Structure 1
Amino acid sequence: MNLGSLSHTSCERRNKKTNILNRSLPVVFPLFAAAFIYTATGAQAQTYSFNRVEVEGNQRVPTGTIANYVGLEAGKPVTAGELNDAYQRILDSGVFETVEIEPRGGTLHIQVREYPTINRINFEGNRRLKSENLAKIIESTERRVFSPAQAERDAATLAEAYSQQGRIAATVRPRIIKRSNNRVDLVFEIAEGATTEVERVSFVGNRAYSDGRLRRVLGTKQAGILRAFVSSDTLIEERIEFDKQVLRDFYLSRGYVDFRVNSANVEFTRERDAFYLVMNITEGQQFHFGNITTVSEIPEANAADFQAALKVKPGVVYSPSLVENSIARLERLALRQGIDFLRVEPRITRNERNQTLDVVFALTKGPRVFVERIDIEGNTTTLDRVVRQQFRIVEGDPFNPREIRESAERIRALGYFAGADVDARQGSSPQQVVVDVNVEEQPTGSLSLGGSYSANDGFGIALGLSENNFLGRGQRLSFSTSTAEDTEEYVLSFVEPYLLGRDLAFGINMGISSRDSSFANYNTDRAFFNPSLTFPLGENSRLQVRYSWQKSEMETRGDDVKTGVVIGSEIDFGERDTSSLGFTYSYDSRRTGLNPNAGWLLELGADFAGLGGDNEFIRTNAKAIAQTRILNEEVTLRATFEGGALHWRGDNFSRTLDRFILTSDTFRGFDPAGVGPRDFSNGVNDALGGNLYAVARFEAEFPLGLPEELGLRGGAFYDVGNLWDLDNANTAAAGADIQGADGAWRQVVGLSLLWTTGIGPLRFNFSKAISKEDYDEERSFDLTIQARF
């Protein structure tokens, strides 16, 4: 038997249905003519009667099993049609290559030849997909009966797998190699072919947003210069359907309620080595919220109270998510007021003339349905309680369909499962429902090994181990180590996101580090232990409370290495312990913001040291970030304000380690610790840090007009900042030569090149200080990772 002539491609499999069995396995049935002999005058068909069944040629299949396939009773007359049905049943069992049935008096003689068994299954020619992964998606199995039809289906399945990788031209040929004892090796010969890329993605019908802006929404990307490192520039049918949905969500969230995708056409290029994807869309008109009112159809709900809880105001761009958020807010208010089974029904009226949508939130009484139980299946590793923690309801609570949908989204967002389906069905009575949760586990651990380079620390090796679902408890455990020429660090982190089953995150960071200072001639050894608790205060706000302990020491690099007088005295302080309590309050408007293109973040924090240890101080800091997109979301504007203050309260002196240091991330255009007070004694230039600092950063990001597939955008920035004050530092040491303690405002302007690559978003900064001090250390070029807001 040779299946070498079979060829499958992902493009042909829908239209080509070849039956290997019919082409290569002739059916021998020589005596059926006798069973269907008819006279010229229309005589009736001949009948037979058998007392026993005789089988020859079977090796693995018992004779009794084959007799059961026949299904004919001994001694009962059998017509030729019934005999044909028996033959077909034997053949349909899929076990036999050939079947012959011959009536021999009172004996039905059956001659069979069994299909061989599969000895081994091999894959040849595959490089992009591993053999163990391919073996998981086929149905043919070693030590099972070989089926040519199944081999054909498996070949089509393998071709489909390559199609999902963008290799449309991949071919798969099943072949067999005969072995002894009626065994065969099944070999799938694979020609992977080249990746068929998407050369261009374009749109027809878009007026409000450019092609470039819409392309950033899609999962399908144009092939770029880093095409070897990305897989999203290949054509995948399922991804196109996903792109249609995300494109619709994009427009709906911006008020285009009539948006639709008319078609998504895919065409080969002239060279037939790539695709063009053209999406024909209709945007429609943008709508805003009109009148927003609340009416109550149940006596226990006061419409005025619920109206006051709404955040959406007239004139805001309409978005279904804002309506959904408003419904959730009103339902939570009902629970706080003890009103069960309240449902909020949004009733929307279009005003075509002024392009607004009037929304009436009707408070109605929903059906009295309770949650009978929550059944969870498929979680072989993850504990049930980890999944249950994503539900805001428990058994016995009133049933709320919206809450079930939100719970499903929270389960998917965990990242523990490859798939998660949440459905509700009727329980033991019409007034009860059972919530079924079906999940599919996926790996949640990772190992990272790589190299690093820093202008400050030099070359190094980084190793990281992390598990996001430790022991199936939903806990995060990670260990990282990094070694460079001038630094060495080991850090262990643990997070329990739902302490005591509540929305209360408990975290611990501990580690040791040794670092050579890049701005003075000393080394720093540090050990630290930082537990914390984080919990929500409101819809957009969170609070973290923490304890911090650390032991730190400044050490000299050698007797022949010069240091300034102040740094030298701080080295003589030796080891110091710091024990402190602190908090950080954050408010993020993006959680429930009304504008998808704008948002702001506020962080306020303080640490109080003096609960034991050697240091006593109060350290406060604040940060505010605001961002918006303008010009049809093509240009991003961002402003950041940051500041801090250190109030030293102890009888001893503060150290450079305790004071603020401005890095190149905080204040661009200068080296780390390149601005601020300095000590020039002993012929050195030591940065000392400062007790007070303030920085403002303003930046804009914009397109450069280059081809979208390059992933390049431009940026411009302006930074202004200051670092000053050395109160409680040992500046009175004999011979100290201090400059800059009173501070001076520095200003920096620059241009940026933002490059979205397959290895991460990179930012190249080219800067020029337009206002600085003579002793400042300027840096005109810097390469960093793009910061995300």
Structure 2
Amino acid sequence: MKRVLAIILLVLVALYGQAISPTMAQSGDVTITKIRIEGAQRIDPATVLSYSSLSAGDTVSRSSLNRAVGRLFATNLFEDVSIGLDGTVVVIEVLENPIINRISIEGNDVLPDEQLLEFIDIKPRRVFTEKVALDTKALLMEIYRQFGRYAAVIEPKIIKLPDRRVDLVFEIDEGPLIKISTIKFIGNDAFSDRALKNVIGSREAKWYIPFGTNDKYDANRLSLDTQKLRQFYLQNGFANIDIVRSTGELLADRSGFVLTFQIREGGEYPVKSVTVNSEIEGVDTDQLLEISTIELDELYDVRRLEETLSLMTNKLGEFGYAFVDLTPDIQVNNEDTTLDIIINVGAARKNYVEAININGNDRTLDSVIRRRFELVEGDSFNQLKLTLSERNVRNLGYFSKVSVDVVPGSSGEQSVVEMNVEETATGSFQLGFGYSTFDKASLTFGINEANFLGTGRGARASISLSDKTTNFRAGITEPYLFDRNLVGSVDIFQDSIEYTSVELEKKGFDFGLGFSAADDYRHRIGYTLADTETKTTSTTALSESGDEGAKLISEVSYTLTKDKRDSRIDPRRGYLLQLRESFAGLGGDSTYLKTVIRGQYFKPLYFNAFVIGLDGEAGYIDGLGENVTRSNRFILGGRKVRGFESGGIGPRDAGDNSAVGGNQYYVASTNLTSDFGFDKDLGMRWTAFVDAGSVWGTDYPNNVIKPDDDSLRSSFGYGILWDTVIGPMSFVWAYPIDKESHDEAKVFQFKFGGRF
């Protein structure tokens, strides 16, 4: 034992002697008269002295000088430090760490230098240490793992240069791309491996899917897959599901990863009962139970429980309770393999809105957002009004994210509404391309600014060109006219379409004044003044027997809209009802009464995985004793009945086969939209649809191609909607099912948009 202690003592003395001079080791405390710095080249000696925390006049001991050595090493500026004592003069001798002269990467092909250098922290002219090289190597290894390169080998090489400089070179062997070769499940009796593989995001690598991203091993995705599996079982009656472990193991030959999920399923449990216990006096628990979506005697589904808790929280919020704790207690009955759900409502007090704070609106004026609130400071808290306020702000389209939090105020009865928004580009442009049997190639370009200088004002312009048609529109919108809840808009337009022997022109302006009323009702009063002209270029053109010539249209209109959609931009649930009445005859050369009704309905299916949309529209125009001219009739096709050219459906001029429109029309559409099958990060959705409709009835029945009746036209189609970083794109293919021989088809449409 004595021998061991002696050896330890000798080692300590040897180490200590490197930092402290023999003079110091053999003497007691010393009062410093002077400090001399040696070896400092780039670093100012005063800086070295400052880091040491030593000063002339200090009395130092062995331990205090040792601590000074430690402080200098801790700066990472020095490769070596020693402190000596020359009488009462302290000598600090340092060897500075090298400076990085250049950083280079060699051997990398998959990831370019620029991308790798963006991730690492070190830069030229920084101090170099071995730890810097090792930390950077570890970071680069992690980057390659994220790209599936688990076999990558990285070696840092240090090239010493004069003047204590080094070049740092990372030599990389990227190795092969290692993907997931096998996904295994253990303990899954109720569901097959194939069913569970469809639940998780990770995928086994397949040779016929060369560009997949989910077949690369990702530890974060593995954790998310574990949550998805657990959620899947909870949605299908397995209240006691336990994902015992989930692992990702690299095969010994580094040819692939094996993912293993060990599952303890437990049993399936139907719901026997649902009860509500409330600590809030006066709350009708039966009223809360009425909005529950949990179905008795059906298998337990955690989604229905979560939906019920959300509905109950909102209902209590409508009663003025901003902060309510709803705690579900799930009691399993092993005797009959059922479960009881007890929802406990914690004690709470009614709240009032103390303040409304809006955060993140760097561009949009505060007043633009506040005027969309249904609540003001001082109101009783109401969750329904708060939800409507959030929807109103989201519907502005100025923000990529809108969220609302309610936090406690200065007292127990006060609450503060915190709205957080994230600005997005409100300027946009659209570029569209299409092909039809009538127009041949067509090009559309539009530009729009929805939030000019953050004021909420809108400006727009668009033009559509083809071999036969030209359409131009431009307009502005003031959303809060005269500082009131009035929307004012002015638009100008000019349209022309040329058939074989007939040319139609229409130009004018439209003024509108709109306002909102209670319960999602919107009203709009509009006035349109338009100059129309029909020209014939051939004596064989019948031109509708009197439709030729110029006419002035003076039209006043009223539109009533009830909008219960959850979003005007991307609706997923709710409905819209609209009625528009237009009367022409206040001056001008045309007289008519036009009625158009429209309805939309949206509903999410299979727990929001799909959205089905139904759209119907119908219209009728009466000349009030006069013949309705071609320019005032309804035109069908294009966006309303995809698969047909705009104006490609309905009666046609017997002389030149041009579209003449009709006095009556109807159209119906069913759309199914989902991102199912796409990686959610891609921002892609698919859509499938069926359209149907017809337009018929003219006041010149002898001059049109038969049949001039309500014969059904229909089409089906599909499309890809892609929200890219540079703007939305859409590719739509539509094919007529029912058509007449004189109808004109339009199969493909492409649109591209950008933001600014």
User: Same fold by TM (over 0.5)?
Assistant: yes
Match in the other structure for 1:452: 433
Match in the other structure for 1:66: 48
Tell me if structure 2 keeps the 8 A contact 1:491–1:509.
Answer: no
Match in the other structure for 1:103: 85
Tell me if structure 2 keeps the 8 A contact 1:375–1:434.
Answer: yes
Asked whether 1:661 is paired with 2:635, we answer yes
Tell me if structure 2 keeps the 8 A contact 1:206–1:283.
Answer: no
Q: Give the 3-state SS of the residue equivalent to 1:741 in structure 2.
A: coil
Deviations 1:495-552, CA, capped at 9 Å, x for gaps: 88899999x89585846465646899545555665757585855xx664646364746
Match in the other structure for 1:21: none
Match in the other structure for 2:659: 687
Using the aligned pairs only, state the percent identity.
Answer: 26
Distance 1:357 1:443, change over 3 A: same
In structure 2, distance between residues paired with 1:476 and 1:217: 44
In structure 2, distance between residues paired with 1:536 and 1:224: 57
Distance 1:427 1:162, change over 3 A: farther
Q: Give the 3-state SS of the residue equivalent to 1:565 in structure 2.
A: coil
Of 61, 66, 70, 1:88 maps to 70
1:294-693 map, 5 Å: 297-299=280-282, 306=287, 310=291, 312=293, 315=296, 319-335=304-320, 343=324, 345=326, 350=331, 353=336, 362=345, 365-367=347-349, 380-381=362-363, 444=425, 452-455=433-436, 457-459=439-441, 471=453, 483-486=465-468, 510=491, 512=493, 514=495, 516=497, 522=503, 524=505, 526=507, 529=510, 538=519, 543=522, 545=524, 547=526, 549=528, 551=530, 553=532, 559=537, 563-566=541-544, 569-570=546-547, 572-573=549-550, 576=553, 578-588=555-565, 601=575, 603-610=577-584, 614=588, 616-623=592-599, 625=601, 640=614, 642-649=616-623, 653-663=627-637, 666-667=640-641, 672-680=646-654, 682=655, 684-693=656-665
Q: Give the 3-state SS of the residue equivalent to 1:694 in structure 2.
A: strand
Deviations 1:261-297, CA, capped at 9 Å, x for gaps: 5555445689957656666665964756955668674
Output the TM-score relative to the length of structure 1: 0.67
In structure 1, distance between residues paired with 2:720 and 2:709: 39
Match in the other structure for 2:220: 238
1:193-208 map, 5 Å: none
Distance 1:384 1:544, change over 3 A: same
In structure 2, distance between residues paired with 1:168 and 1:493: 57
Deviations 1:539-576, CA, capped at 9 Å, x for gaps: xx6646463647464565x846964422x854523564
In structure 2, distance between residues paired with 1:509 and 1:356: 62
Distance 1:665 1:371, change over 3 A: closer
Match in the other structure for 2:743: 777
Moved more, 460-469 or 103-112: 460-469
1:730-745 map, 5 Å: 731=700, 736-745=703-712
Distance 1:403 1:53, change over 3 A: farther
In structure 1, distance between residues paired with 2:460 and 2:203: 33
In structure 1, distance between residues paired with 2:539 and 2:39: 93
Q: Give the 3-state SS of the residue equivalent to 1:739 in structure 2.
A: coil
In structure 1, distance between residues paired with 2:121 and 2:269: 51
Q: CA deviation at 1:87?
A: 1.4
Distance 1:225 1:158, change over 3 A: same
Match in the other structure for 2:19: 32
In structure 1, distance between residues paired with 2:207 and 2:556: 52
Q: CA deviation at 1:89?
A: 0.8
Q: CA deviation at 1:176?
A: 7.5
Q: CA deviation at 1:109?
A: 1.9
- The one-letter code sitting in structure 1 at the alignment partner of 2:697 is D
Q: CA deviation at 1:99?
A: 3.0
Distance 1:286 1:122, change over 3 A: farther
Q: Give the 3-state SS of the residue equivalent to 2:54 in structure 1.
A: coil
- The one-letter code sitting in structure 2 at the alignment partner of 1:547 is G
Match in the other structure for 1:17: none
Q: CA deviation at 1:621?
A: 2.3
Tell me if structure 1 keeps the 8 A contact 2:288–2:312.
Answer: no
Tell me if structure 1 keeps the 8 A contact 2:202–2:222.
Answer: yes
Distance 1:392 1:766, change over 3 A: closer
Q: Give the 3-state SS of the residue equivalent to 1:686 in structure 2.
A: coil
Q: Give the 3-state SS of the residue equivalent to 1:606 in structure 2.
A: strand
Match in the other structure for 2:12: none
- The one-letter code sitting in structure 1 at the alignment partner of 2:435 is S
In structure 1, distance between residues paired with 2:46 and 2:279: 74
Tell me if structure 2 keeps the 8 A contact 1:29–1:99.
Answer: no
Distance 1:649 1:703, change over 3 A: closer
Q: CA deviation at 1:756?
A: 8.5
CA RMSD of aligned residues (A): 6.1
Output the TM-score relative to the length of structure 2: 0.70
Match in the other structure for 2:35: 53
- The one-letter code sitting in structure 2 at the alignment partner of 1:103 is L
Tell me if structure 2 keeps the 8 A contact 1:720–1:746.
Answer: yes
Distance 1:295 1:432, change over 3 A: closer
Distance 1:700 1:70, change over 3 A: closer
Tell me if structure 1 keeps the 8 A contact 2:314–2:383.
Answer: no
Distance 1:351 1:78, change over 3 A: closer
Q: CA deviation at 1:703?
A: 14
1:134-213 map, 5 Å: 138-140=120-122, 145=127, 149-150=131-132, 152-154=134-136, 156-157=138-139, 160=142, 163-164=145-146
In structure 1, distance between residues paired with 2:432 and 2:208: 20
- The one-letter code sitting in structure 2 at the alignment partner of 1:573 is A
In structure 1, distance between residues paired with 2:150 and 2:332: 48
In structure 1, distance between residues paired with 2:663 and 2:160: 82
Q: CA deviation at 1:429?
A: 6.8
- The one-letter code sitting in structure 1 at the alignment partner of 2:19 is F
Alignment length, in residue pairs?
Answer: 716
- The one-letter code sitting in structure 1 at the alignment partner of 2:620 is L
Deviations 1:468-489, CA, capped at 9 Å, x for gaps: 7654567777666665555555
Structure 1: unaligned runs, 5 residues or longer: 1-27, 39-43, 706-710
Match in the other structure for 1:14: none
Asked whether 1:725 is paired with 2:697, we answer yes
Q: CA deviation at 1:765?
A: 5.2
- The one-letter code sitting in structure 2 at the alignment partner of 1:71 is S
- The one-letter code sitting in structure 1 at the alignment partner of 2:560 is F
Q: CA deviation at 1:92?
A: 1.2
Q: CA deviation at 1:70?
A: 1.6
Distance 1:71 1:331, change over 3 A: same
In structure 2, distance between residues paired with 1:486 and 1:515: 8
Distance 1:229 1:508, change over 3 A: farther
Structure 2: unaligned runs, 5 residues or longer: 1-14, 678-682, 752-756
